[in-house]
Amino acid sequence: MSEHTYKMIELVGSSHTSIEDAVKNAVARAAVDEKKLRWLEVLETRGHIEDGKIAHWQVTVKIGATLD
Amino acid sequence: MSEHTYKMIELVGSSHTSIEDAVKNAVARAAVDEKKLRWLEVLETRGHIEDGKIAHWQVTVKIGATLD
Amino acid sequence: MSEHTYKMIELVGSSHTSIEDAVKNAVARAAVDEKKLRWLEVLETRGHIEDGKIAHWQVTVKIGATLD
Amino acid sequence: MSEHTYKMIELVGSSHTSIEDAVKNAVARAAVDEKKLRWLEVLETRGHIEDGKIAHWQVTVKIGATLD
Amino acid sequence: MSEHTYKMIELVGSSHTSIEDAVKNAVARAAVDEKKLRWLEVLETRGHIEDGKIAHWQVTVKIGATLD
Amino acid sequence: MSEHTYKMIELVGSSHTSIEDAVKNAVARAAVDEKKLRWLEVLETRGHIEDGKIAHWQVTVKIGATLD
Amino acid sequence: MSEHTYKMIELVGSSHTSIEDAVKNAVARAAVDEKKLRWLEVLETRGHIEDGKIAHWQVTVKIGATLD
Amino acid sequence: MSEHTYKMIELVGSSHTSIEDAVKNAVARAAVDEKKLRWLEVLETRGHIEDGKIAHWQVTVKIGATLD
Amino acid sequence: MSEHTYKMIELVGSSHTSIEDAVKNAVARAAVDEKKLRWLEVLETRGHIEDGKIAHWQVTVKIGATLD
Amino acid sequence: MSEHTYKMIELVGSSHTSIEDAVKNAVARAAVDEKKLRWLEVLETRGHIEDGKIAHWQVTVKIGATLD
Amino acid sequence: MSEHTYKMIELVGSSHTSIEDAVKNAVARAAVDEKKLRWLEVLETRGHIEDGKIAHWQVTVKIGATLD
Amino acid sequence: MSEHTYKMIELVGSSHTSIEDAVKNAVARAAVDEKKLRWLEVLETRGHIEDGKIAHWQVTVKIGATLD
């Protein structure tokens, strides 16, 4: 935690079950491309509705990753 | 998804168990009056506390519905 | 609910499992010092990431307590 | 205060005399159509000026009403 | 412009051609149900993209209408 | 109310008695320099405290004036 | 007004009569515990409604106090 | 673009035809009094409605001008 | 629209003619690098002024793209 | 600090060296035209980059001045 | 960094010399009462002006401290 | 400054000494990957505290770069 620089990436994760799972899916996808993910911030929570029910959650997150 | 017009309604849903259930309760109640609900946005998450514990969650949502 | 005055305190609760548990932990800790907690508002939801996974959630809440 | 759902309506009330009266006028008008008004939040305070004086106050409020 | 009360309704209008037309479509639809529309405020401007082009604009507006 | 242009000026008015009077004082002062004041918006409400009491209110307002 | 440090406390004051009185009640209560209150900022104005009328105003304020 | 100071002025421009024209009218009016206008930012887009149609657009802009 | 993850990219598009064209230019440029653009949100509208006229519009947009 | 009225002016100051100097330059320029400057608030901090380095800082400030 | 709870305190620090020193003074004062300070966020930067110069900076910070 | 498109990247720079240096470090790191950096905006200023002192500043910036 010295003089690092971090880059912030913004993703929208989706899940049929919960807000937490939507965030986890976004983090899991980010981890494919970026090795050193450090923290996340939830920006926006939305949901898609079908037949009067929430079909899936869509959560926008900013994720911070250490730049080498 | 062509040149539709949508109306936004704002509700506060409650639940003893989770944030997601508070949102689901709001959507379920909205579905009684409005047939074509399409999406939701969470605006505010609050909780009512009794005896040092969260008695229920109160979540404010905006819900978009297609206008015929 | 007459002419009471409330004070607002701001805490960050953590949890390995869910956003709701992070909030509950913050409320439980606040209840040690303050007797008359009444409501909470979620201000910010963050997460700490280790090895590409969410190690714990960190949720900032404002909690209202009745002042005698 | 159990698992109720509330709907939020947004009104602009006016008054020649004070901000509080503009809010009261909005609540009084809302009470004609909705039976179970519960709380209000002031969103915006404006005023109309004529001949260098405030002719009337215009206050935008969100009002929460219990849905049966 | 005396002591009127106004209600605010929120709509999302769409258009293939421009932001202004998306707003006009929302106002035209609102005018079917409400007789005394007075002013609007643009809250959010979005667009749906298909094949790398903007298929239609989606503009969220709040519209103020005089309550009798 | 045709194709006018308005300029917005920002003032802080003060009063020992009320929020409304602080706004009125700001408008009265603005009316000395500008002839065609049209509307105002309250941006911020503050107060100066002396000996545990509110000595005066300080209200920041934006005022719109017609440009000839 | 030299190199002082101030602490900010956040309170919600209530009043049956006016927004100003709700703020005064919050300041009066804060003055019991803190000797050197200096200024306040209004954060949020709410009201509790009973039988279609405003039963009391609830105003959230931040108050700055000199730290010795 | 060295160590200049700029002043920001805030105007509301109007137009019967488009958002862009409302902004242009504000800039044209500002250019009468200020010689060195440099850039603008759109703050708010509103419209006045008559007979269920948008009679004119009202766009609030901040304009930056070089101070000599 | 199942459990996709989207990434958000932020661009500033420019145009001499209109706000819509500035957005279109940003989308067209984004489409060179990203195949599956889905939606956009306008964040900020600015303009560059030369000789008292708007030389070009600069519009900041966030664009959502499906991640495979 | 009695019932004064203040006007707020908004400036952007620049400096090659620091954020503080950019603010000082804005205040120094404002002091040429206005005699009774009282306080400032930083609204926005930007920087101009040339050859991968910060060529100068640009800081937007609101400055309050006593009106006689 | 496991399941800790943190409390947030809000202070305004002052300095004649720089924004950083105003923050340092707030942290130093907070460290007298609280042992386990962990991080800070700058909320607001203001300055007091005397004789057309910045007499001191006033910076509002939120500071997070571990609760045992 | 004609019809360019810019992309915005978001970084967090760190420094033991000052806010300006934290920003410079972020810009220097961005300049490794991107050739045509043009401007930056400070979004958030934080600090990490150790032993009651600020160990390093962490400043979040958005940086605009010309896209060819």
Averaged pLDDT in 10-residue chunks for chain A of 68 residues:
85 98 98 95 98 97 95
- For an interface test with F, the pick among H7, H8, H10 (most F C-beta atoms closer than 10 Å) comes out as H10
> Chain C closest CA to G3's CA: distance in Å?
26
| Average pLDDT along chain A | 95
Tracing tokens 């959650």 back to the chain, one arrives at: A57
Structure tokens at K18: 């720089």
Residue to test with chain F: of D54, D56, D58, most F Cβ within 10 A:
D54
What does the pLDDT read at residue C1?
42
User: pLDDT category, L26, cuts 50, 70, 90?
Assistant: very high
Q: Are A6 and A65 in contact (CB under 8 A)?
A: yes
Q: Minimal CA–CA distance to K52: which of J6, J35, H6?
A: J35
Neighbouring chains of H at 3+ CB pairs under 8 Å are E, F, I, J
Chain A residues closer than 8 Å to C19 by CB: 19-20
Whether residue G7 is predicted with pLDDT greater than 60 in this model: the reply is yes
Q: What is the nearest CA distance from E37 to chain B, expressed in angstroms?
A: 15
Residue E61, pLDDT > 60, answer yes
Chains touching chain C, criterion 3+ CB pairs below 8 Å: A, B, G, K
The C-alpha angle A23, B10, E2, rounded to 5 degrees, equals: 145
* Partner E contacted by H64 (CB < 8 A): no
Interface of C with B in 5-34 (CB under 8 A): 18-20, 23-24, 27-28, 31
Question: Cβ I27–E47 below 8 Å, yes or no?
Answer: yes
3-class SS of residue I26: helix
CB contact under 8 A, I31 and E48: no
Q: Report chain I's mean pLDDT, rounded to a whole number.
A: 95
Is the pLDDT reported for residue E1 higher than 60? no
The answer to whether residue L3 scores a pLDDT higher than 80 is no
* Nearest one of D47, D2, D50 to D21, comparing CA atoms: D47
Below-70 pLDDT ranges, chain K: 1-2
Q: Do B3 and E10 touch (CB under 8 A)?
A: no
Query: Counting one residue from D and one from E, how many pairs have CB atoms under 8 Å apart?
Result: 33
The whole-number average pLDDT for the span H43-48 is 98
pLDDT exceeds 50 at position D1: no
Angle at F42 between CA F40 and CA F48, to 5 degrees: 130
DSSP labels, chain F? --S-EEEEEEEEEEESS-HHHHHHHHHHHHHHH-S-EEEEEEEEEEEEEETTEEEEEEEEEEEEEEE-
Residue D2 has pLDDT above 80, yes or no: no
Residue of D36, D39, D45, D60 to mutate, testing the G interface (most G Cβ within 10 Å of its Cβ):
D39
Chains in contact with L, counting 3 or more C-beta pairs less than 8 Å apart as contact:
A, I, J, K
Interface test with H, best of I16, I17, I46 (most H CBs within 10 A): I46
All residues of chain D having their beta carbon less than 8 Å from the beta carbon of residue E4 are: 14
G32: closest CA among G11, G58, G57, G6? G11
* Residues F3-14 pLDDT 10s: 799 999 999 999
User: Chain C residue closest to A38 (CA)?
Assistant: C49
pLDDT band at residue J1 using 50, 70 and 90 as cut-offs = very low
Which of I18, I19, I46 is opposite residue H40, by nearest beta carbon? I46
pLDDT for res I1: 42
pLDDT, position E2:
54
Is the confidence at residue F1, as pLDDT, over 60?
no
- pLDDT number for residue J2: 54
pLDDT at res. B2: 54
Q: Do F8 and H11 lie within an 8 Å CB cutoff? A: yes
Residue of H nearest to E38 (CA): H49
Note whether K67 contacts L: Cβ–Cβ < 8 A: no
C53 lies within 8 A of chain A by CB: yes
Condensed to tens digits (0 to 9), the pLDDT of residues C9-61 reads 999 999 999 999 999 999 999 999 998 999 999 999 999 999 999 999 999 99
User: Which chain J residue is nearest to residue F57, measuring alpha carbons?
Assistant: J3
In 3-state terms, what secondary structure has residue J32?
Answer: helix
* DSSP characters over B4-45: -EEEEEEEEEEESS-HHHHHHHHHHHHHHH-S-EEEEEEEEE
Percent of chain F whose predicted confidence (pLDDT) is above 90: 93
Chains that touch J (3 or more CB pairs under 8 A): F, H, K, L
pLDDT of A1: 42
Provide the phi-psi class of A52: left if phi over 0, else alpha when psi is between -120 and 50, else beta: left
Which residue in chain H is spatially nearest to J21 when comparing CA positions?
H3
Tell me, yes or no, whether chains B and J touch by having 3 or more C-beta pairs under 8 A.
Answer: no
pLDDT at site K2? 54
Chain A residues lying within 8 Å of I4, measured CB to CB: 14
CB spacing of F27 vs D47 below 8 angstroms: yes
Neighbours of chain B (3+ CB pairs under 8 A): A, C, D, E
Taking CA–CA distances from C18, the nearest residue in chain A reads A20
- CB contact under 8 Å between D47 and F31, yes or no, is no
Find where tokens 């008292």 sit: I52
Q: Closest chain H residue to I52 measured between Cα atoms?
A: H31
Interface size between E and H, measured as CB pairs under 8 A: 38
With CA atoms as reference, the chain H residue closest to I17 would be H20
Query: Chain C closest CA to B24's CA: distance in Å?
Result: 16
G14 vs C5: CB contact, 8 Å cut-off? yes
Mutate to test the interface with F, among D19, D42, D45 (most CBs of F within 10 A): D45
Rounded Cα distance, C37 and C35, in Å: 6
Q: Which residues of E20-38 are buried (b: 16+ CB within 10 A; e: fewer)?
A: bbbbbbbbebbbeebeebb
* DSSP assignment letter at G29: H
